[in-house]
Chains A and B, each alone.
Chain A
């Protein structure tokens, strides 16, 4: 069989790219995934959406993506509910130096039109009354940040792409990519051979392995990030609560349950996504310190997922410099869900040779080999 583009991975990135390409008129697009829809990081993520970033690139990606989410239901003609709530992110500062860094971030965010603001402890309590006041010295808040249902949002892209003619092959693994005379000619899966000259690598935690198939070294690694969910209760919390120094995030989703996660220090680089008791211990200690009331809730389930991490904690959204027709969308470093509308927009414009509003240099593959690295994003959990 033949395809104009083969997209590897049906996570939020691959589905958004497929939709944006098809919407711009491309025909004969194939998406291949070795498992089910959202089986990768997408179906395991916290699905928080925020614009409160410390680098310009991340701020712009997030802001434009939120603009998309605000009208996504209509734009994608989705019959279901993407459960988009815009009740903000409340990011706690635990000491003065962190608060000073936040005030710089807020200036940057405001200069880009992001309505974030600094809050005192008292002002923070008006938003989340049950915080432990000795656990933080101030906070930042941005009302238009929020949360989505990751399954429903991905399905919305998926169904819209399908309606526009995109073909999806699930439970089918890409095994090999044939390159002849420095041109892609074929993608070989365990079920098909697909003639194509354009491949999009949206393989999430396995993006490096896909790069290896064409001899392109993508400087990313995967690591396990764990998360848990509690029993549902009546609504008590609007915003996502988070702290970088305390290392946690915690959100009540519309269904009523609380999702919370943290990163494991010195995590090994691997494809492991198992659950550990030590995560449970540390998560419980952290949340009982920050918000003792949440400690009354029962944990129902815990799981893990892969962060695919780049050296500057910002994504690679690019065409490989050394292999035309090989496009890469990976290295989201734990934030690819919220950037997905822009990922689709940028990659589709690149494939169609259209200009992107945002400079592609910020996300190019070979930025890491240059002397002048991007600013490294510090605002991460």
Chain B
């Protein structure tokens, strides 16, 4: 299958070809790829793509997967409406 037909990040429609192009351009850590391609920035926060990308980085840089850091995990775990947060907020006044 062609690299530009293989979706790596479903949130942002990023293909394997996109990832490989960025690696070739010298962006060989997850944080750089995230800022170039938005991988890990979508609603799933990298739950689908991070291991796939980690493997591509490991292959490209000839490292073991365990030595390739992935993106920082940030809150929230799932999307929550702002108004729901407001309604649930503790009133400190």
- What is the 8 Å Cβ interface bit string for chain B, positions 81-92, against chain A (1 contact, 0 not)? 111011001100
> Which of B2-10, B28-36, B49-57, B60-68 makes up part of the contact surface?
B28-36
What is the interface of chain B mostly: helix, strand, loop, or mixed?
loop
Q: Indicate whether A151 sits within 8 Å of B86 (C-beta atoms), given known contacts A231-B43, A275-B74, A299-B76.
A: no
Q: Indicate whether A298 sits within 8 Å of B81 (C-beta atoms), given known contacts A36-B29, A231-B43, A281-B90.
A: yes
A288 interfacial contact with B, CB 8 Å: yes
Q: A290 CB to closest chain B CB, in angstroms?
A: 11
List of A residues within 8 angstroms of B43 by Cβ = 231, 298, 300
Q: A96 CB to closest chain B CB, in angstroms?
A: 24
Q: Are B29 and A301 in contact (CB under 8 A)?
A: no
Q: A43 CB to closest chain B CB, in angstroms?
A: 6
Q: Are B35 and A284 in contact (CB under 8 A)?
A: no
Q: Are A302 and B85 in contact (CB under 8 A)?
A: no
Q: Indicate whether A296 sits within 8 Å of B81 (C-beta atoms), given known contacts A36-B29, A231-B43.
A: yes
Q: Are A300 and B86 in contact (CB under 8 A)?
A: no
> Which range holds the interface residue count of chain B?
20 to 34
Q: Indicate whether A298 sits within 8 Å of B74 (C-beta atoms), given known contacts A36-B31, A38-B35.
A: no
A287 interfacial contact with B, CB 8 Å: yes
Q: A256 CB to closest chain B CB, in angstroms?
A: 11
- Report the Cα distance A358→B37, complex, angstroms: 38
A23 interfacial contact with B, CB 8 Å: no
Q: Are B35 and A151 in contact (CB under 8 A)?
A: yes
Contacting A284 at CB < 8 Å: which of B29, B45, B74, B82? B82
B1 interfacial contact with A, CB 8 Å: no
- Report the Cα distance A295→B87, complex, angstroms: 11
Q: Indicate whether A301 sits within 8 Å of B75 (C-beta atoms), given known contacts A37-B32, A151-B35, A231-B43.
A: yes
List of A residues within 8 angstroms of B29 by Cβ = 36
- Report the Cα distance A59→B85, complex, angstroms: 37
List of B residues within 8 angstroms of A229 by Cβ = 41
Q: A226 CB to closest chain B CB, in angstroms?
A: 11
- Report the Cα distance A162→B38, complex, angstroms: 23
Q: Indicate whether A299 sits within 8 Å of B85 (C-beta atoms), given known contacts A37-B32, A43-B35, A151-B36.
A: yes
10 A-B residue pairs with CB within 8 Å: A36-B32, A231-B79, A275-B74, A281-B90, A284-B86, A285-B89, A294-B82, A295-B83, A296-B83, A299-B79
The interface of chain B, by Cβ under 8 A from chain A, is 29, 31-32, 35-36, 38, 41-43, 45, 74-76, 79-83, 85-86, 89-90
